[in-house]
Amino acid sequence: MFLTTRGLILREAKYKESDKILTILTETNGKLTAKARGVSRTRSKIAAATQLLSFSDLTLFGSRGYWTINEAATVEQFRPLRTDINLLALGSYIAELTEAVSNEGVPEPDILQLALGALYALSSRLCLPKQVKAAFELRLMCLAGYRPELGCCAGCGREELPAGARLFPEHGEIYCHECRAVGGLALGQDTLRAMRYIAGAEARRVFAFRLQEPQLSELASVCEAYTLYQLDRAFGSLDYYKKLRTD
């Protein structure tokens, strides 16, 4: 059977001399694995459309559960990511997280839109990479079933939390400093406001907010810690991204 769809290439692995095995988040079939033949050859017409982080029109042939790419044409290549090693590393982390939370055979339109939005924000430098990363992580957790309860203190129910609030990843709850003074992740008021924005914003506005330092760094560390806690695994691309940044 043939399948025509659009998809974002989340992972590529070299296979044999000139083939690749790709993991793709497609519009119609969710996550799938497909073989791309001959794409490591310099003259391959579908090389660009089948590389990591390309969003492409695809025609696939499926037989007994195995997919092969017949045709591919690039819709969006996110070219600026490919000339900046930091942005490429962060884009790879976005892809790895997307792969971790998406399922085979289940279309994930919201997750696909979020990943594309994050790659677009990175490549067009709409905001700092740190902000794209944090907003992507938190929004992805919301879409993947790990939405934290950010509306009020889980102890006393107050919605306006004074300074000293804390997020407890194990319950996905926030507490004011009077209900819980230790443990969890410390959250300033501006950080909490930004998190509420990210969790509740219209899909196309998720990255469109302003946050100053040091609050932006606090947001970044809270969103990363929350994500890693929920998914309970390491991400090679994140380790690599961090290594680049401290060297």
What residue ranges bind Zn ion (CB under 5 A)?
Answer: 153, 155-156, 176, 179
Determine contact, residues 206/114, Cβ cutoff 8 Å. yes
Name the one residue in this structure whose structure tokens are 């089948």: 50
Peptide bond into 107 cis (omega under 30): no
Nearer to Zn ion, 20 or 166 (CB): 166
For residue 228, what are its two tokens? 């890693």
Minimum distance, C-beta of residue 161 to Zn ion, in the bound complex (Å): 7
Minimum distance, C-beta of residue 158 to Zn ion, in the bound complex (Å): 6
Nearer to Zn ion, 38 or 188 (CB): 188
Amino acid at site 241? Y
Nearer to Zn ion, 109 or 157 (CB): 157
Minimum distance, C-beta of residue 171 to Zn ion, in the bound complex (Å): 14
Nearer to Zn ion, 100 or 179 (CB): 179
> Residue 14: is it exposed, middle or buried by C-beta count within 10 angstroms (0-12/13-18/19+)?
exposed
From 208, 195, 211, 98, select the one nearest 147 (Cα to Cα): 195
Nearer to Zn ion, 90 or 176 (CB): 176
The DSSP H or E segment spanning 103 is none
Residue 144 to residue 93: CA distance in whole angstroms: 16
| b/e 31-53 (16+ beta carbons within 10 angstroms → b) | bbebbbbebbeeebebbbbbbbb
Minimum distance, C-beta of residue 165 to Zn ion, in the bound complex (Å): 8
Minimum distance, C-beta of residue 173 to Zn ion, in the bound complex (Å): 10
